[in-house]
Amino acid sequence: MKNQLVTTLIAATATLTGFVSKVDTASAAGFVWDNSWTQPTIYSKAQTGFDDAPFQQFVSAERLPLANSGLLQLDPTKLKLNYDYDVTAYFINQVAWNRNQLAYQATGTTNQSGLVFKVVPSKDPKYAADPNNYLLKPGDGVKLGKITAGTQLDFFLRADGYVRGNSSYTFSTQNAAANPDGLQHVVSFAYSKDEYVVLGFEDLFGGFGKQQNSDRDFNDLVVVLDIGKGNLVSVPEPSVALSLVAIGAVSILGLRRRRQTNTAN
Ligand SMILES: [Ca+2]
């Protein structure tokens, strides 16, 4: 029964997110992955001064590791800025076999798109000798440039895209219902009173027991966005956030149970 409840809640969440985001779809549509994109400059922690240590707790072997830390859950379809800011995306970590890629799109007063991470490290031992598997270290950052007030940010995970290219599944923050499996693939949280946004991505298609046997643990890529303190146009009311966290807590119970029989990432 619990698993049925979890499935229903996850589906309901995805449906709700998809329904709400349809309002904004027109303004953020038209994303196309450009295979000629090259990896932007990767800045080390020594160069940016960013400390990834507080965020590593959100990347654990536990399922849905982001939901137990008092973070304020956000709607990942509503990453819209109040004021101009030089946005940086920091790689925190991953627990994935795939060689995932990440891109972004800015729509509004700033209109641009591009690659964030060309190849996210994989835990697959067959890539252990490939230097491309280590381009990113935890805490490394990529600067998206100045994003102006009123701009919507969307992020796109191309699952195993470094290997599969155009035949990959691409999952986005833009509109969960438009994902290839119609499911939500990104969870989003505000950290330290809206100073940072934490994004957790799920890279496998479908759900547990279905195609790709997805565990829905949202730790296949964890990214932190420095978007500027208090810079989100839309932050949930506390009551709304509480109900979302409650859904996350129920999901943890169900997904931990599944973990015993599931070896997918
Ligand atoms: Ca996963």
pLDDT tens track for 210-220: 677 777 778 89
Q: Is residue 242 part of a domain?
A: no
Which residues are close to ligand 1, an ion, with C-beta < 5 A?
A: 202, 215, 217, 220
Instruction: Report the separation in Å between the CA atom of 46 and the middle of ligand 1, taken as the mean of its atom positions.
Output: 30
Range of the domain at 102: 18-235
Return the pLDDT at 80. 95
Q: Is residue 258 part of a domain?
A: no
Q: Give the pair of three-digit tokens for residue 214.
A: 């997805």
Q: What amino acid occupies position 23?
A: V
Q: Is residue 259 part of a domain?
A: no
Q: Is residue 117 part of a domain?
A: yes
Q: Quote the number of domains for the chain.
A: 1
216, 185 in Cβ contact below 8 A? no
Q: Is residue 104 part of a domain?
A: yes
Instruction: Report the separation in Å between the CA atom of 185 and the middle of ligand 1, taken as the mean of its atom positions.
Output: 9
Q: Is residue 136 part of a domain?
A: yes
Q: How confident is the model at residue 240 (pLDDT cuts 50, 70, 90)?
A: very low
Is residue 145 scored above 90 in pLDDT? yes
Angle among Cα 114, 116, 120 to the nearest 5 degrees reads: 140
Q: Is residue 249 part of a domain?
A: no
pLDDT tens track for 20-30: 333 333 334 68
Choice among 92-106, 155-169, 244-258 with the minimum mean pLDDT: 244-258
Strands (E), 179-246: 186-191, 196-201, 221-226
Q: Could you tell me the pTM of the whole model?
A: 0.78
Q: Is residue 212 part of a domain?
A: yes
Instruction: Report the separation in Å between the CA atom of 138 and the middle of ligand 1, taken as the mean of its atom positions.
Output: 19
pLDDT top residue among 67 and 41: 41
pLDDT top residue among 57 and 111: 111
Instruction: Report the separation in Å between the CA atom of 186 and the middle of ligand 1, taken as the mean of its atom positions.
Output: 11
In which element (H, E) is residue 6 found?
Answer: helix 2-21
Q: What amino acid occupies position 135?
A: L
Q: How confident is the model at residue 140 (pLDDT cuts 50, 70, 90)?
A: very high
Exposed, middle or buried by CB within 10 Å (0-12, 13-18, 19+), for 218? buried
**Ramachandran category for residue 116: left, alpha or beta (phi over 0 → left; psi -120 to 50 → alpha):** alpha
